[in-house]
Structure 1
Amino acid sequence: MLSDFDILQKLYDDDKFVDLLHQPNGILWLKLRSISRVEQMSLFCQRIGLDVTSIPSRQLFKYVYDHKPSNEVLESFIRELFKQERNERRERENYIIDQLYQMKVFDWGGLYQNSLEQTIINNYVKRIQSWDELNLAIDNKIFASMKGYIQCSWYNYWSSILIEDIFKDHPSVLPTIGLVKKVDFFIHDFPFDLKVTYFPDGYMEILRRAEGLRPELTLIKDFCRQQGIWFDNNKPADVLLAELWAKVTEHPSQEAKDFITDLKQTRKRLLQKTIENPKALKTWLYENQGIRRFDASNRFFLVLVNVNNFDESWKLKRNKHLLEKAIHSHLDKMKPDDMEKLQLKFKWKNEEFETYADILFIVA
């Protein structure tokens, strides 16, 4: 028969997050997991006067959990650890933000997250037979693409730390200390995995289709053909859409200005419609996860939108003043009783899942 600890571990491993939360000690288990590294857990045991000198390191987490430490003492310990880490980062925060502003263009270079190896294997390793041609491709194509990939990854990493700290600085938020899969912090004792994203092109097309509107890419390609604006139709749809937006926006004709103005107005209207009723977007974000990153954990979606140019929404990730004001205002309004209202059901691969999800739009 499985122990209480093993039941919670299995629920966590099996991605049954809601079931775990409904267990009497599910939240305690998750909080302890965030300090489950040996050095952190040993310090906590010293704090609560628990002798673990004879306990093997692999059994330490379970041993401490079985003793059911006080939630108040545990939270106080976690906040102390976070304060130490936060003070170290705060000393460098202005420097990091300044460095993030050195990023002028956000371009993955064709090597997108989760597909780096696959892209290189498919486009170069399996297609090129000549040794000289392979090395030429490495020098002229892969190097430039890798540079863009690394720069974008760097920007996402450090801006994500900045945003997480903004959340964790709020008094209603309990941070996690170690890297805990599926949990970045707790809001009123509810665990959330933070997902920073932008307004999805795919969801925008769903909204347009629901109103009988043609896809943006189809419209903008037709306009370019009419105006004699050349484009490469073999490029990926998202890349081509961004390029054509730029080309038409910069075109000097009044027709181009009117066309872009009309597209922007439609985008803003559909964005506002989504903000007023965000449940469908939350569901879409769960149901359109990649296979490698799929899980049904509670999520806090932070959706960043530059209304004048959706393709530059990435710049908002470094705007601390804007982010901090909006995030803390949202957290100020959240109450413990509000958490159950965030319940959400979705389908993935013909299987039904239940979770909890909040969403905050930051529009500038």
Structure 2
Amino acid sequence: MKQPIAIQALQTELGKRLAYPYIWGRKQNDEWDFYTNFIYKTPTWEALMPQMALVVQKHNLNKRALFNYTINRWYNFWSATGVEQIFTNLDDVIPAVNQKDRLIDFTIHKIPFDHKTTVFPKYFKKTINYAKHNEKELITWLYANQSSQQRHHLKNRLFIVVYDSNGSHWKVKANLTLLKAEIEKYVSNFSPNKLHSLTFADHSQALSDIIWVIQ
């Protein structure tokens, strides 16, 4: 069973990353994921620094390049971990039996879902108002343009789409208080009939939906 996380404490830690620009410096890849896998066991910001120094020295890497890559992976992972716990703390949500199952994080009303927090994508080329009235179009776009890394799949997924009126959409991932409020609202009003049904080119099917988190 996963160790419970103090959501407010985690929000404080995530907030420490916001002072730095959101720059990856390279496309996410398996090699650099390997270098930075210590993030999974490092929930605090300060503890990242000595571990990054060790990796830079061991693999002769550029310090700034590793810093940018690490803090983005760390931020996204721990925000997602907090979001998953927000879901599974709710009465109508049951955590996946197999915690290593990359296709299922939890079930809602017996329907299995993976969840994905994503910024409102600029390459969607439509306004947020359009997207909110055409959710299936955005969902289809998100499936088609998802990462090719380990979490790529065409199974049931709930997308938590974050949007900031000032354009810094990525910063909303740190606002676990706001994410919690919107997730609780969504789950309390959950209805399988409201889910979007998709059929892909390989004839596989999935159920999906969007939880909008706007600040």
Provide the residue aligned with 1:144 in structure 2: 64
Change (3 A) 1:109 1:281: closer
Q: Please report how far the alpha carbon of residue 112 of structure 1 lies from its aligned counterpart in structure 2 after TM superposition.
A: 3.1
Counterparts of 2:157 and 2:106, CA distance in 1: 10
The Cα of 1:116 is off from its aligned counterpart by 5.2
- Which ranges of structure 1 fall in alignment gaps of 5 or more residues? 1-80, 118-137, 208-269
Q: 2:26 aligns with which of 111, 124, 139?
A: 111
Q: What is the SS of the residue equivalent to 1:179? A: coil
State the AA in 1 paired with 2:27: Y
**4+ residue stretches of structure 1 with deviation over 6 A?**
none
Following superposition, the deviation at residue 111 of structure 1 comes to 2.6
- Counterpart residue number, 2:110: 189
Partner of 2:206: 355
**Matched residue, 1:301:** 159
Counterpart of 1:338 (choices 189, 193, 198) is 193
More helix by share: 1
How far 1:323 moved relative to its partner?
1.0
* Contact 2:24 2:72 survives alignment (8 Å): no
Shift of 1:287: 1.6
Q: Which residue of 2 aligns with 1:157?
A: 77
Secondary structure of 2:96 counterpart: strand
Where does the alignment leave 5 or more consecutive residues of structure 2 unmatched?
33-58
Would you say the 8 A contact 2:14–2:174 is kept in 1? yes
CA distance in 2, matches of 1:197, 1:359: 10
Conserved 8 A contact 2:119-2:163: yes
Cα-to-partner distance string for 1:197-219 (whole Å, 9 max, x where unaligned): 01112212xx3xxxxxxxxxxxx
1:250-275: per-residue Cα shift (whole Å, max 9, x none)?
Answer: xxxxxxxxxxxxxxxxxxxx211111
State TM-score, norm by structure 2: 0.78
> Matches of 2:69 and 2:106 in 1, distance apart?
28
Deviations 1:315-337 (A, max 9, x none): 111212211111110111113x4
State the shift of 1:152 in Å.
1.1
- Spell out, residue by residue over 1:81-135, the C-alpha distance to the aligned partner (whole angstroms, 9 max, x if none): 56xx32xx23xx4332212111112434413322655xxxxxxxxxxxxxxxxxx
Instruction: Tell me, in whole angstroms, the C-alpha distance in 2 between the residues paired with 1:109 and 1:326.
Output: 28
Is 1:327 paired with 2:183? yes
Give the TM-score, by structure 1 length.
0.47
The two structures, once aligned, show a CA RMSD in angstroms of 2.4
Partner of 1:282: 139
Please list, as runs of the form range in 1=range in 2, the aligned pairs for 1:212-251 lying within 5 A after superposition.
none
Is the partner of 2:208 in helix, strand or coil?
strand
Q: Which has the higher relative contact order, 1 or 2, with Cα contacts under 8 A spaced 6 or more apart?
A: 2
Structure index of larger Rg: 1
The structural deviation recorded for 1:354 is: 1.4
Which one of the candidate residues 91, 95, 101 is aligned to 1:171? 91
Matching residue of 1:23: none
Contact 1:106 / 1:152 at 8 angstroms: preserved in 2? Answer: no
- Shift of the alpha carbon at 1:342? 2.7
Distance 1:106 1:330 in 2: 31
Q: What is the distance in 1 between the residues matched to 2:72 and 2:209?
A: 26
CA distance in 2, matches of 1:272, 1:97: 28
